[in-house]
């Protein structure tokens, strides 16, 4: 007899009512008297458990089974009985139970509530808890929704390199990747490290962004996206920063900032809709236990037209408001989270694209506007989080781009191939970056990035 999955029971269990079924799973909870016992069994395929009913006169090993420690794995055969008067739609009257793997009395995930901090120390076991089984199934489904969205639109998924020999990304501090003997590295004549002897024949680091390579592919395939790990060697121990995180970076050719924003809006709505439709149990759990109002907020996003405001207008609105900010507002500042949340939560009460930022606070590759002061950049702000997406139209004019590179004291040689993209049939193009973990925090209501990454890497922490 082939085991059924609990997901199958919940999604079309009535097909199996009053029939003999077989399921596998891990014991989540267990209680028993002399004659009866109940096990909540979870097999990992679904958020909910199945109740197994044990009767001493039906099971030879009744006593042994009722004594099994939490998290023991078993195989159950029995009849699937509908239970219309109960909370759960059905239960299984066990006729035969085989122990697959014993757990132990010192299993750390006992029924009592544990803090998320504690659960991080048992990252190998926490996906067996309700909260983390929901988080990591949502993470998986959101990743797939993103692939599905882009593939259905004909985007080419591009694996940009993780190890980079280029110094040109300029988006943050980097981790060095090396096989040199750190106690005794080869030296050049002037006593520097001789990286020509390193594995790749030069100094290499972990990537902070696949954008530049993504642009090369967008100028061949028109529409591409990346989805891979990126790294920041920044010593910031906050609830929103990890040293290793996944990023999605679409890039579109023959497209301007407006197309870029439309793409970002469509993508966010698609992913949220996908989760609300395909993971109702998990979303209901987050709505009840992690973030009340989550489902309403997300549903609003799916149904609203995102607002648009220029940076200059946003600054005016902030200056006019009665709100007291910790960081004073004036044209030229980088918007802080308090400003961003005020704009999206109080002024517009929905997602907002802020566009056309001062060039001084944005990257060299963003397209210079006619005014010579601002660039065609956009940040997407959402209620409850602030910035979730940042993007821009890219500077496609070779002379302007070279001018910006010089202005910022960067070296044209480092960008030879990036500049060639403008020389050999460049077109207007645009793209954005979405931090995947930020998205997961947003759609689950989880407030610490460490709790949406299976095995998080942060300063002083790389366990498991």
Of residues 133 through 192, those in contact with its own copies by CB under 8 A are 133, 136-137, 139-141, 143-144, 147-148, 151, 154-166, 173, 175-180, 182-183, 185, 192
d(CA 346, CA 326): 17
Q: How far is the CB of 165 from its own copies (least distance, A)?
A: 4
Q: Minimum distance from CB of 347 to its own copies (Å)?
A: 32
For the bound state, the minimum distance from the C-beta of residue 378 to its own copies, rounded and expressed in Å, comes to 21
CB of 27 or CB of 315, closer to its own copies? 27
Structure tokens at 254: 């023959």
What is the 8-class DSSP label of residue 367? P
Give me the residues paired with residue 78 across strands: 21, 94
| Residue position matching structure tokens 């110094």 | 167
Which residue stretch of 110-118, 296-304, 377-385, 414-422 sits at the interface with its own copies (rule: CB under 8 A)? 414-422
Question: Apex CA 403: angle with CA 397 and CA 407, to 5°?
Answer: 145
**Least Å from the CB of residue 230 to its own copies:** 10
Number of residues that bind its own copies (CB under 8 A): 108
Q: Residue 139 CB, nearest distance to its own copies (Å)?
A: 7
Q: Provide the minimum distance between the beta carbon of 357 and its own copies in the complex, in angstroms, as a whole number.
A: 25
Among candidate residues 447, 401, 445, 451, the one with its CA nearest the CA of residue 426 = 401
* 213-232: contacts with its own copies (CB under 8 A): 213, 216-223, 228-229, 231
Residues 274-293 that bind its own copies (CB under 8 A): none
Buried b (16+ CB within 10 A) or exposed e, 35-72: eebebbbbbebbbbbbbbbbebeebeebeebbebebbb
Q: Which stretch binds its own copies (CB under 8 A): 67-75, 85-93, 310-318, 332-340?
A: 67-75
Closer to its own copies at the Cβ: 198 or 379? 198
- Which residue of 362, 428, 438, 450 would you call a contact of its own copies, by CB under 8 A? 428
Pattern 26-55, its own copies, x by CB under 8 A: xx---------------xxx----------
Segment contacting its own copies (CB under 8 A): 284-292, 299-307, 327-335, 426-434?
426-434
Stretch 190-209 residues interacting with its own copies (CB under 8 A): 192-193, 199-202, 204, 206
With helix as H, strand as E and coil as C, how does 306-337 read?
Answer: CEEEEHHHHHHHHHHCCCCCCCCCCCCCCCCH
Q: According to the binding rule CB under 8 A, does residue 368 interact with its own copies?
A: no
User: Contacts with its own copies in 4-23 (CB under 8 A)?
Assistant: 5, 7
80-109 footprint of its own copies as x/- string (CB under 8 A)? --------------------xxxxx--x--
151: three-class secondary structure by DSSP: helix
Q: Which is nearer to its own copies, 48 or 373 (CB)?
A: 48
Q: Of the two residues 52 and 301, which places its CB atom closer to its own copies in the complex?
A: 52
Cβ-count burial 427-451 (b if 16+ within 10 Å, e if not): ebbbbbbbbbbbbbbbbbbbebbbb
CB count within 10 Å of CB 347 equals: 17
Instruction: Compute the distance between CA of residue 151 and CA of residue 158 in angstroms, rounded to an integer.
Output: 12
> Based on CB atoms, which residue is closest to its own copies, 51 or 205?
205
Residue 439 engages its own copies in binding (rule: CB under 8 A) = no
Q: How far is the CB of 27 from its own copies (least distance, A)?
A: 7
Structure tokens at 239: 């609830």
What separation in angstroms does the CA of 253 have from each of 61, 153, 219, 320? 67, 14, 6, 38
- Residue 26 vs 286, nearer CB to its own copies: 26
Q: Kindly report the number of other CB atoms within 10 A of residue 214's CB atom.
A: 21
Q: How many other β-carbons are positioned within 10 Å of the β-carbon of residue 118? A: 12
């Amino acid at each position: 007899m082939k085991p059924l999955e609990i997901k199958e029971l919940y999604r079309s269990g009535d097909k199996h009512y009053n029939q003999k079924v077989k399921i596998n799973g891990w014991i989540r909870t267990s209680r028993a008297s002399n004659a009866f016992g109940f096990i909540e069994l979870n097999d990992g395929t679904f958020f909910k458990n199945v109740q197994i009913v044990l009767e001493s006169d039906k099971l030879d090993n009744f006593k042994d089974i009722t004594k099994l420690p939490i998290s023991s794995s078993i195989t159950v055969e029995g009849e699937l009985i509908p239970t219309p008067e109960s909370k759960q739609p059905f239960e299984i009257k066990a006729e035969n139970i085989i122990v697959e793997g014993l757990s132990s009395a010192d299993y750390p995930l006992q029924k009592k509530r544990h803090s998320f901090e504690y659960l991080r120390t048992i990252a190998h076991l926490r996906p067996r808890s309700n909260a983390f089984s929901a988080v990591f199934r949502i993470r998986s489904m959101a990743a797939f929704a993103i692939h599905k969205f882009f593939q259905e639109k004909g985007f080419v998924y591009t694996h940009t390199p993780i190890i980079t020999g280029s110094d040109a990304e300029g988006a943050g501090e980097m981790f060095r990747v090396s096989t040199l003997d750190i106690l005794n590295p080869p030296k050049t004549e002037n006593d520097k490290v001789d990286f020509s002897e390193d594995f790749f024949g030069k100094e290499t680091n972990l990537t902070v962004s696949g954008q530049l390579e993504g642009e090369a592919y967008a100028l061949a395939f028109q529409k591409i996206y990346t989805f891979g790990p990126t790294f920041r060697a920044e010593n910031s121990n906050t609830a929103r920063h990890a040293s290793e995180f996944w990023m999605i970076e679409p890039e579109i050719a023959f497209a301007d900032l407006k197309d870029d924003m439309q793409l970002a809006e469509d993508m966010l709505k698609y992913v949220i809709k996908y989760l609300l439709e395909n993971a109702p149990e998990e979303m209901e759990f987050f709505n009840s236990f992690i973030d009340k109002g989550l489902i309403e907020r997300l549903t609003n996003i799916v149904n609203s037209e995102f607002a648009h405001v220029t940076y200059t207008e946003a600054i005016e609105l902030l200056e006019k408001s009665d709100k007291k900010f910790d960081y004073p507002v004036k044209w030229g500042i980088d918007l802080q989270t308090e400003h961003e949340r005020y704009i999206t939560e109080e002024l517009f009460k929905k997602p907002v694209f802020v566009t056309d930022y001062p060039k001084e606070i944005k990257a060299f590759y963003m397209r210079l506007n006619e005014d010579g002061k601002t660039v065609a950049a956009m940040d997407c702000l959402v209620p409850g989080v602030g910035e979730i997406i940042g993007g821009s139209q890219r500077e496609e004019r070779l002379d302007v781009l070279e001018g910006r590179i010089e202005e910022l004291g960067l070296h044209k040689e480092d960008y030879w191939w990036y500049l060639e993209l403008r020389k050999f049939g460049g077109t207007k193009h645009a793209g954005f970056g979405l931090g995947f973990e930020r998205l997961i925090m947003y759609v689950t209501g989880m407030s610490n990035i460490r709790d949406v990454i299976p095995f998080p890497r942060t300063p002083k922490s790389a366990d498991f």
